[in-house]
């Protein structure tokens, strides 16, 4: 992604060398993304259909969270809104009031994205400001195909690829900057700027530069994943990712065109790797296509993502578990900020480095609080893991958000970073954390009129969803463009 992004966005300003080794595999999981990925694909000039076909991608309208707030309950966090505000008061306040009176359905019934997801249907959103425009979508794709696709695209626009393993990192004694990477066969690759996309190993940033790591395990205790693909169990392909809470973490199901990705993200302090592998084998809906593989990680981030002349992108700079599909987003934002702050003529200005680190930190911190909410907003007391996350002390920044919600039904507003009102409302309400009070103005309106308006919205959503094709049908009817016929 980084090589392709730099080559496309800064042609003529930098030559890009990509060093990778066939000996290091790509983590073979389905990868779920956020709607931002569409902007990335588009700005590279890649045709969406070609991209989807090459990566066996499906559409994604949100994430279905099961058993998080309470066993047996589920909700969808959609890429879309719930209803509309009325007279300056957010929809959820009216919904809370009607719900108290027993006059409202589930909040998801007032979201087109949720209703379409539940019905396994998909069509792209409208470009106007109608109800059909109130959602977005992302992709679910095969990471083992996505990497090579981006690599080949990058090579096609001028990236030079070097096959080989990095065995040594040369640094300038005075500045500490990295000057060259030495490969196993003795080749030496020099550069002005080095981007560390080496994943958890963080070969340059964590390894050579020993950039300090800020550990977030005390808030996000999951540190392993057992990943395993399986066949589709039914003819339907879900246009959403499923996250199901487990006794020591949660498991994902990511539907691709040709198979389903599964994985159990767990805390090794609460369950062994063998037990996790057994659990993922046991829970797979389709026929396993491989043995489970264990991935090990540590949640947190480097204190500085850009240090000296090394920029960490993706897991090399930080890791947040994939509960909200943020990994590719965080990599994409780092690439975007790097392009904006790309060094002039090879010289790095410390002010640009500081600005980059400020922006990356802001992104990580905001995602972090939102992830912790999924664990903390629960009544589950059926395992040591859930007892721990339910009762742990959360960051102050999150504690204030929780209290503001509980006391007044309000969401702390910020304009940058991920996850706005609708996302917070989806998780709060979905996990059973209703506020104690909501906006006083909702009782000014005649409850029957509000109820009728909500009912009309629900019916209109139902009508529009009924008119959408099934997700699989949509992919197959456009197979020449979107789907891999195989």
Among 22, 23, 72, 88, binds other proteins (CB under 8 A): 88
In this structure, are residues 149 and 55 in contact, taking their beta carbons and an 8 Å threshold? yes
User: Residue count at the site for other proteins (CB under 8 A)?
Assistant: 44
Among 47, 190, 349, 382, binds other proteins (CB under 8 A): 349
Contact between 347 and other proteins per CB under 8 A: no
Least distance to other proteins, CB of residue 126, Å: 16
**Residue 138, interface with other proteins (CB under 8 A)?**
no
| 451 binds other proteins, rule: CB under 8 A | no
37 in helix, strand or coil? helix
157 is a site residue for other proteins (CB under 8 A): no
- Lateral strand order in the sheet of 306-307: 194-196, 310-312, 306-307
Task: Check binding of 442 to other proteins (CB under 8 A).
Answer: yes
Contact 369, 395 (CB under 8 A): yes
Specify whether the CB–CB gap between 335 and 5 falls below 8 A: yes
Among 157, 189, 294, 404, binds other proteins (CB under 8 A): 404
Q: How far is the CB of 440 from other proteins (least distance, A)?
A: 4
Using CB under 8 A, pick the residue from 175, 443, 466, 477 that binds other proteins.
443
Q: Select from 185, 274, 414, 466 the one that contacts other proteins (CB under 8 A).
A: 414
Work out how close the CB of 95 gets to other proteins at its nearest, in angstroms, rounded to a whole number: 10
Indicate whether 441 belongs to the interface with other proteins (CB under 8 A). Answer: yes
CB of 326 to other proteins, least distance (A): 19
| 333 binds other proteins per the rule CB under 8 A | no
Toward other proteins, which CB reaches closer, 93 or 380? 93
Interface with other proteins (CB under 8 A), residue from 49, 99, 171, 283? 99
Q: Which of 58, 34, 122 is nearest to 467 (CA)?
A: 122
- H or E element, residue 425: helix 421-430
The sheet carrying 178-183 orders its strands as 166-171, 178-183, 188-190
Query: Under 8 Å CB-to-CB from 127, ≥6 apart: which residues?
Result: 133
CB 397 within 8 A of CB 372: no
Q: Which residues are catalytic?
A: 60
Is-contact 43 9, C-beta < 8 A? Answer: yes
Q: Which residues pair with 163 in a beta bridge?
A: 20
- Determine, following the binding rule CB under 8 A, whether residue 412 of this chain makes contact with other proteins: yes
Q: Which residues pair with 263 in a beta bridge?
A: 227, 252
Nearer to other proteins, 97 or 142 (CB): 97
**Rounded Cα–Cα distance for residues 208 and 228 (Å):** 33
Question: How many Cα atoms occupy the beta-carbon half-sphere of 470 within 13 Å?
Answer: 7
Choice from 30, 318, 409, 430 touching other proteins (CB under 8 A)? 409
- Among 4-12, 25-33, 226-234, 258-266, which window interacts with other proteins (CB under 8 A)? 4-12
Q: What does the block give as tokens for 333?
A: 């934002």
Q: Decide: is 439 part of the binding site for other proteins (CB under 8 A).
A: yes
Instruction: Give me 461's structure tokens.
Output: 């959503």
CB atoms within 10 A of CB 23: 9
- Which residue among 200, 213, 297, 342 contacts other proteins (CB under 8 A)? 342
Residues at the site binding other proteins, with contacts judged by CB under 8 A: 9-13, 87-88, 93, 96-97, 99-100, 339-342, 344, 349, 351-352, 355, 400, 403-404, 407-410, 412-416, 434-444
């Amino acid at each position: 992604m980084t090589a392709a992004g730099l080559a496309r966005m800064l042609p003529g300003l930098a030559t890009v060398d990509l060093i990778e080794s066939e000996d290091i595999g790509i983590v073979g999981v389905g990868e779920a993304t956020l709607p931002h990925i569409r902007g990335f694909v588009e700005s590279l000039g890649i045709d969406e259909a070609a991209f989807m076909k090459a990566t066996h991608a499906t559409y994604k309208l949100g994430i279905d969270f099961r058993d998080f707030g309470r066993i047996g309950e589920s909700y969808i966090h959609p890429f879309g809104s719930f209803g509309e505000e009325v007279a300056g008061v957010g929809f959820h306040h009216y919904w809370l009031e009607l719900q108290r009176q027993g006059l409202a359905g589930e909040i998801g019934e007032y979201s087109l994205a949720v209703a379409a997801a539940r019905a396994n249907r998909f069509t792209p959103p409208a470009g106007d400001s109608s109800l059909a425009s109130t959602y977005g979508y992302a992709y679910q794709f095969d990471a083992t195909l996505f990497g090579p696709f981006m690599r080949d695209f990058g090579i096609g626009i001028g990236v030079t690829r070097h096959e080989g393993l990095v065995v040594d990192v040369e640094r300038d004694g005075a500045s500490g900057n990295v000057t060259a990477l030495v490969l196993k066969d003795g080749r030496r690759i020099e550069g002005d700027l080095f981007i560390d996309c080496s994943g958890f190993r963080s070969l340059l940033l964590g390894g050579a530069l020993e950039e300090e790591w800020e550990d977030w395990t005390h808030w996000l205790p999951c540190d392993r994943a057992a990943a395993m693909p399986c066949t589709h169990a039914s003819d339907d392909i879900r246009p959403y990712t499923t996250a199901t809470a487990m006794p020591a973490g949660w498991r994902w199901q990511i539907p691709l065109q040709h198979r389903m990705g599964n994985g159990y993200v767990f805390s090794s302090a609460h369950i062994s790797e063998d037990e996790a592998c057994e659990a993922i084998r046991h829970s797979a809906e389709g026929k396993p296509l491989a043995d489970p593989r264990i991935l090990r990680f540590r949640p947190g981030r480097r204190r500085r993502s850009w240090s000296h002349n090394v920029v960490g992108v993706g897991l090399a700079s930080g890791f947040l578990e994939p509960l909200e599909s943020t990994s590719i987003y965080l990599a994409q934002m780092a690439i975007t900020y790097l392009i904006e702050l790309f060094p002039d003529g090879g010289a790095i200005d410390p002010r640009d480095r500081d600005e980059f680190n400020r922006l990356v930190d802001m992104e990580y911190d905001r995602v972090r609080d939102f992830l912790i909410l999924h664990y903390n907003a629960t009544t589950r007391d059926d395992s040591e893991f859930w007892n721990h996350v339910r009762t742990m002390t959360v960051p102050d920044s999150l504690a204030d958000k929780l209290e503001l919600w509980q006391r007044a039904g309000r969401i702390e507003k910020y304009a940058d970073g991920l996850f706005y009102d609708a996302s917070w409302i989806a998780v709060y309400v979905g996990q059973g954390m209703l506020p104690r009070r909501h906006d006083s103005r909702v009782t000014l309106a005649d409850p029957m009129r509000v109820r009728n308006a909500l009912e009309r919205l629900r019916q209109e959503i139902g009508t529009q969803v009924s008119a959408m094709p099934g997700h699989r049908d949509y992919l197959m009817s456009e197979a020449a463009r979107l789907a891999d016929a195989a």
